[in-house]
Structure 1
């Protein structure tokens, strides 16, 4: 923009008054600055990047976010900081990210819950299809029906017998309405014909802590959450929600062995505000893909029961569309009401 053009613009809005004139002047000044000789936009990242986690510290999603933050910080030479914003099945965090500046400095370690299922069961103030851009889907995992040792459940059959004989007495923890920890438990309870009391938490870590303490009876946990307790006798791992048994838990049966066709899993992926610059999205996706492809990183995921997916933008978006189509009839069929 030349000085001659700037003067012409100033003459054009002299007839404006008040707020309109101030806005026009600001826009014109910014335009002149952006095209002035020697001016360059600030390179990304020039300051720390925040990865918002929708649950309390210590759970599956938090663990993955911290692993990614460590590697991304090394790749880009700037800190990637984890910000835990738990509550309402992660919807508080999702809304925060949807409204954040789309400059690449606020990212979201999302789960299927915030992008797919919880919007079907909760009144929300963001549009999961329009307000986020998929960046990279990191990994997926099934769930494990995890029981307190106080009831001495040794098998899924023990749980089913107790639940049917004691309607409403089982206390089942979950990480919020519409979340996969709730839905996976509800689908099992419905199949088994068990009435239970559902207890919401701000994330998986506090729910699992209460199972360990004997404060609640059951929690449908991510595999990675319970792996540290395998063989300790502190909890009972009754069944996994995958179609078949998992290699890292060979002695834990699949729910499908008792209730054929039962299969539930979830994923964790990085997304950002929808208007993020495409070049920043591409850079984060490319570096993330390299990280997930690294054998050491994959081994760390697999050790705790997470299946590396490494789906970048288009493949990730396709999975989200497919999951919406899959879960909508399931939620409607289960009779879960919008809160």
Structure 2
């Protein structure tokens, strides 16, 4: 009789548990999280992500795994996340050009503003124009002069059409009235390797990808974005006649639309703790990268502003 009663209680308890919402049974995250990067290996996103994913488990109590999914200028990986379950286990680590600009130059299979929820803008980075150390171009002006003499003859490797390297190059060409042969690769890492191997004459890069190359003496920086010089002997874009908001990449983490509020909140809290972590700060410093967190709502406002600015930019570059 006692065994029968206990059995009935166990069945009843199991039935009641089955009726409870899943959140009551397991708190997010209960398994590793995948961070999809829609670019190739060795680029600035890849390097920044390796630092993030090495520290963030401390604040999520689960691993975060990087998955590189390059292709179609970032669209392949972006679509993968747009189609993923909105459960917080598949996130996209992207940047402003893919996130907000591509919609004006491509028929995308997703809507950036409608299909994603921003979690955080982790940081931003200014770009630099670089050549190999043995390049005949000692200065930016020498590169411009060579391009004027031989329009389309100088090969510039970049990370994909209308991406983080392509757009500044297009802006520079427009401002200085020159033509470069823009050759796409699957990310900033492959673009840099094309330069180093001699397949390209010039490329661009961000602090995390340039640091080791500068230290080893394999590249020369000709100009950098920003109002202030990154290097004492290297001019800014403004100093070489390229004015305006040129060459800044915002690194952004987004989730599929419909991701529960409590999951977004957990991720936001983890990233707020991450940027204060001393080890994270030290490792980002070694990459020469900034730390400048903007939360989801803050970046959503930035996205809306970017959408307007990028439409004007595309119109200006394509007309």
Which residue of 1 is the match for residue 36 of structure 2? 52
Give the stretch that moved more between structures: 251-260 or 46-55.
251-260
Equivalent-residue separation in structure 1 for 2:148 and 2:190 (angstroms): 27
Deviation string, structure 1 residues 254-301 (Cα, Å, up to 9, x no partner): 021021524420111211001101001011111111111234423432
Q: Does 1:281 align with 2:264?
A: yes
Call closer, same or farther: CA 1:38–1:195 in 2, change over 3 Å.
closer
Give the stretch that moved more between structures: 122-131 or 306-315.
306-315
Larger radius of gyration between Structure 1 and Structure 2:
1
Greater RCO structure (CA 8 Å; 6+ sep):
2
Equivalent-residue separation in structure 2 for 1:70 and 1:38 (angstroms): 28
Which residue of 1 is the match for residue 252 of structure 2? 269
Call closer, same or farther: CA 1:236–1:44 in 2, change over 3 Å.
same
Which residue of 2 is the match for residue 134 of structure 1? 118
Unpaired segments of 5 or more residues in structure 1? 1-30
Unpaired segments of 5 or more residues in structure 2? 1-14
Does the 8 Å contact 2:59/2:273 carry over to 1?
Answer: no
Please report how far the alpha carbon of residue 36 of structure 1 lies from its aligned counterpart in structure 2 after TM superposition.
5.9
Pick aligned residue for 2:240 from 234, 248, 258? 258
Please report how far the alpha carbon of residue 65 of structure 1 lies from its aligned counterpart in structure 2 after TM superposition.
1.4
Corresponding residue pairs, total: 304
Equivalent-residue separation in structure 2 for 1:36 and 1:120 (angstroms): 45
Equivalent-residue separation in structure 2 for 1:41 and 1:107 (angstroms): 23
Please report how far the alpha carbon of residue 191 of structure 1 lies from its aligned counterpart in structure 2 after TM superposition.
1.3
Does the 8 Å contact 1:86/1:202 carry over to 2?
Answer: yes
TM-score by length of 1: 0.84
Which residue of 1 is the match for residue 169 of structure 2? 185
* Matched position secondary structure for 1:272: strand
Equivalent-residue separation in structure 2 for 1:34 and 1:199 (angstroms): 56
* Matched position secondary structure for 1:307: coil
Does the 8 Å contact 2:37/2:66 carry over to 1?
Answer: yes
Give the stretch that moved more between structures: 118-127 or 138-147.
118-127
Q: Does 1:125 align with 2:79?
A: no
Deviation string, structure 1 residues 234-261 (Cα, Å, up to 9, x no partner): 1121000222212xx2322102102152
Does the 8 Å contact 2:51/2:284 carry over to 1?
Answer: no
Pick aligned residue for 1:234 from 202, 205, 218? 218
Does the 8 Å contact 2:55/2:280 carry over to 1?
Answer: no
Please report how far the alpha carbon of residue 212 of structure 1 lies from its aligned counterpart in structure 2 after TM superposition.
1.0
* Matched position secondary structure for 1:293: coil
* Matched position secondary structure for 1:230: helix
RMSD: 2.1
Q: Does 1:317 align with 2:296?
A: no
